Amino acid sequence: MQNYGKAKLVEEKVFKDPVHRYIHVRDQVIWDLISTKEFQRLRRVRQLGTTYLVFHGAEHSRFNHSLGVYEIVRRIVDDIFSGRPDWDENERLVVLCAALLHDLGHGPFSHAFENVFHTDHEYYTRQILLGNTEVNDVLNRVSEGFPEKVAQVIEKTYPNETVVSLISSQIDADRMDYLQRDAYYTGVSYGHFDMERILRVMRPRKNKVVIKASGMHAVEDYIMSRYQMYLQVYFHPVSRSAEVVLNHILKRVKQLSIEGYQFAVEPTHFKPFFKGQISLEDYLSLDEYILYTYFQSWMKEKDPILSDLCSRFVNRNLFKYANLNPEEDPEKFNQIKNLLVEAGMDPDYYLYHDCTSDLPYDFYRPGEESTRIPIFLEKPNGEIRELSQESLVVDAIAGRIKTDHKVYYPKELLNRGKGSHIKQELLEALRSK
């Protein structure tokens, strides 16, 4: 079994991929990992959560993206790094596995789910790698400590930072795949950059990956793509509105369960999460299909809040939004609250304030993000410089983002306001986006 890690398929397998054209698999280990049920489960978790409710094309799954990240890393190690002095060929398999499996712990609608149930997909990635799973079986066959190594790469504690950088840094395979893939599926014209050029000028260095300075403009273009994708796609207010509704559904289910409410359709799969005693099997039994199935059943629950919120989510009747910062304008926020109460709607479930800096935002800001390995440029004379020291564009935009405050509320409020005592001004405020 000691050669399993080096076993090659008799014939290379390829997956047709719309973003990278083909995904090439030559290693038996990779092939076996893809066939595990834990990896196949990623087909039932969308890459972009609720975004498909705004960009209808974005129905792609994390399975899709995970293959893409693997393929990018494969190209880097096989076509670019292989044979170069600072690259250790023995790291090849561990980085390929880490690339493929980096999102393994993601559950359905991760952001909302983790927010309500305080789970952590990184924790579960580790559990799946090291627990009693098909993935662990495969990795263990490579060598005894191998699953732990893969986990370390994903968790950024692996000693060789060159390896870690390929998966987690400001210009890793993860981001390079998702920017292009999300752009492809949404159909937006941002998200394109010359990845081939960037790969061609990536070089392994001692505990580092550098980009040759001649590729700086391609990297700038990548940074700008990221900036645009965040503003245009990832932070889209309608998608955030769907997140709010989803969040409130989960919050309501949890609350009803605490209160001993008698569900017509019991939240069986959720019970371990209410108690906070979650086995790996419990975790893996969840996916977005199952959540949706519950939501559809619950549209008929007696509890009016749960049934209403589920209808809104399933039938895409989402909350409206308005630019409003409750801290700056507490009075207006209170007026909205009062109006809701008057209308018989509980503000806990029908009003929400968020701002984009609450979101998992990682637009390039050196210094602030201590855990992110920055982008290093290597000049012709060998000097290594952090990107924003060299690039006017990146320096200019790094850390200059406005925080965007929004409140979300049901559109029925607008009609409700008509002819009532509500101030015209408030209506105006709500309507303005």
Comparing CB distances to its own copies, the nearer of 87 and 158 is: 87
Minimum Å gap between C-beta 311 and its own copies is 8
Residue 295 vs residues 114, 124, 154, 267: alpha-carbon distances, Å: 18, 24, 33, 10
Q: Does 224 bind its own copies (CB under 8 A)?
A: yes
Per-position x/- string for 49-78, each x denoting binding to its own copies as judged by CB under 8 A, each - no binding: ---x--xxx-xxx-xx--x-----------
Write down the residue that tokens 């700008």 correspond to: 224
Q: What CA–CA distances, in Å, run from 231 to 112, 121, 343, 384?
A: 20, 24, 34, 31
Stretch that binds its own copies, among 86-94, 113-121, 157-165, 212-220 (CB under 8 A): 212-220
Minimum CB distance to its own copies smaller for 165 or for 388:
388
Distance, in Å, from the CA atom of 178 to the CA atom of 189, rounded to the nearest integer, reads 14
Residues counted in the chain? 433
Query: Cβ distance 326 to 406 under 8 Å?
Result: no
The size of the interface with its own copies (CB under 8 A), counted in residues, is: 68
356 secondary structure, DSSP code: G
CB of 45 to its own copies, least distance (A): 11
- 189 binding its own copies? (CB under 8 A): yes
Nearer residue to its own copies within complex by CB, 62 or 126: 62
Nearer Cβ to its own copies (285/415): 285
Q: How far is the CB of 272 from its own copies (least distance, A)?
A: 16
Residues 6+ apart with CB under 8 A from 93: 5, 27, 29, 142
| Tokens at 331, concatenated | 């009075």
Contact segment (CB under 8 A) with its own copies among 89-97, 288-296, 335-343, 355-363 equals 288-296
Helix, strand, coil abundance in the chain, percent, nearest 5:
55, 10, 35
C-beta of residue 213 within 8 angstroms of C-beta of residue 391: no
Indicate whether 424 belongs to the interface with its own copies (CB under 8 A): no
Written as one letter, the residue type at 61 is S
Q: Binding of its own copies at residue 35 (CB under 8 A)? A: yes
Stretch 365-404 residues interacting with its own copies (CB under 8 A): 380-381, 392-393, 396-397, 400-402
Output 155 or 280, the one with its CB closest to its own copies: 280
Q: Show contacts with its own copies in window 301-320 (CB under 8 A).
A: 314-317
DSSP H or E stretch at residue 8: strand 8-17
The continuous run of DSSP H or E covering 205 comes out as: strand 202-205
| 81 near its own copies (CB under 8 A) | no
By beta-carbon proximity to its own copies, the closer residue of 272 and 347 is 272
106 or 149, CB closer to its own copies? 106
**b/e per residue, 183-196, with b = 16+ CB within 10 A?**
bbbbebebbebebe
Q: Which stretches of the chain bind its own copies, using CB under 8 A?
A: 14-19, 21-22, 35, 37, 40, 43-44, 52, 55-57, 59-61, 63-64, 67, 184-190, 192-194, 196-197, 200, 217-218, 220-221, 224, 227-228, 231-232, 285, 287-290, 292-293, 296, 314-317, 380-381, 392-393, 396-397, 400-402, 432-433
